[in-house]
Amino acid sequence: MRPLRSFLFVPGDSEKKLAKVDGCGADAVILDLEDSVAPANKGAARDLVAAFLKARPRDGRTVQLWVRVNPFDSGLTSQDLAAIVAGDPDGIMQPKIDGPDDVRTLSAHLDTLEAEHGLAPGVIRILPVATETPIAPFRLGDFATAGLTRLAGLTWGAEDLSAAIGASTNLGADGAWAFTYQMVRSLTLLAAHAAGVPAIDTLYVDFRDDEGLRAASRAARAEGFSGRLAIHPAQVGGINAAFSPSEEDIAFARRVVAAFEAAPAVGTIGIDGKMYDLPHLKAARRTLAMARG
């Protein structure tokens, strides 16, 4: 399965925004029950999202439908799951986890609810936001050996982490991420690959800065991220383009694969005066797999 490039957040209590989901162009939409919904609207959002899912059976969806539930410490997670699992969401975004054990607990809840609603075991995936509490970054490496079969990827967040540690900003003087957030971003990238799942980069906050979004997303793809969260529909096109191989990427990948196939007994080949070895072959095959996807 091709990694999802774009995850677009949509407030679960906005009928107007929910009505635009089907044509948004994102690979996945995250119907949000958490931060974008005021406490007084949680129940209404839960009902709207449950009805929205039931009106769109999985086999007829034009976009994957995920739900960001409320975190365990809110006391609302069980209510969220009880309402939405009957609608067979493609996945759950789990916020504010402390580590893999929280994902395991959520998975156990889903085991029970899938059985109750006649869904295939494990059909609902989980994408945790893996850096939003002070302890969570220290446990990122544990995902590699946690055996979480529902794990669909790892993503990270800066806003809740900065609030949790009492920081007044998560940016440096140059406008880039401050060191702490650069560190947890890098650790999330490594942890995802160690666990064998996609690494999903966090939001690019300024939705009016399309050029900046595209540049940052291309850089993220070059680092090893597979996709990005989106906060506004205007960001979807730029994210999809940045995390898709270009025609030049595909053409060069084909040259690399062809060169190795023509010389199967060697571990290093020369192309245009540069030397390429087996890791480059692996990267080329990954590029072609993405293009086929």
Let me know: does 136 contact 183? Beta carbons within 8 Å: no
Q: Which residues pair with 91 in a beta bridge?
A: 66, 125
Let me know: does 2 contact 293? Beta carbons within 8 Å: yes
Burial class (CB in 10 A: 0-12, 13-18, 19+), 268: exposed
pLDDT recorded at residue 19: 94
pLDDT recorded at residue 290: 75
Domains of the chain in sequence order = 6-244 (3.20.20.60), 248-292 (no CATH)
| 132 annotated binding-site participant | yes
Instruction: Give the 3-state secondary structure of residue 230.
Output: strand
pLDDT recorded at residue 31: 98
Q: Write out pLDDT tens, residues 182-209.
A: 999 999 999 999 999 999 999 999 999 9
- CB within 8 A of 240, min separation 6: which ones? 5, 6, 25, 26, 27
| 68 annotated binding-site participant | yes
Measure the CA–CA gap between 46 and 9, rounded to whole angstroms.
15
Closest by alpha carbon to 189, among 179, 200, 180?
A: 200
Give the residues of the chain that fall short of pLDDT 50. none
Measure the CA–CA gap between 239 and 237, rounded to whole angstroms.
5
pLDDT recorded at residue 180: 97
Q: Write out pLDDT tens, residues 111-168.
A: 999 999 999 999 999 999 999 999 999 999 999 999 999 999 999 999 999 999 999 9
DSSP state, 271?
A: E
Q: How far apart are the first and last CA of the chain?
A: 7
**Residue 267: half-sphere exposure toward Cβ, Cα within 13 Å:** 1
Closest by alpha carbon to 18, among 47, 40, 58?
A: 47
| 286 annotated binding-site participant | no
Instruction: Give the 3-state secondary structure of residue 177.
Output: strand
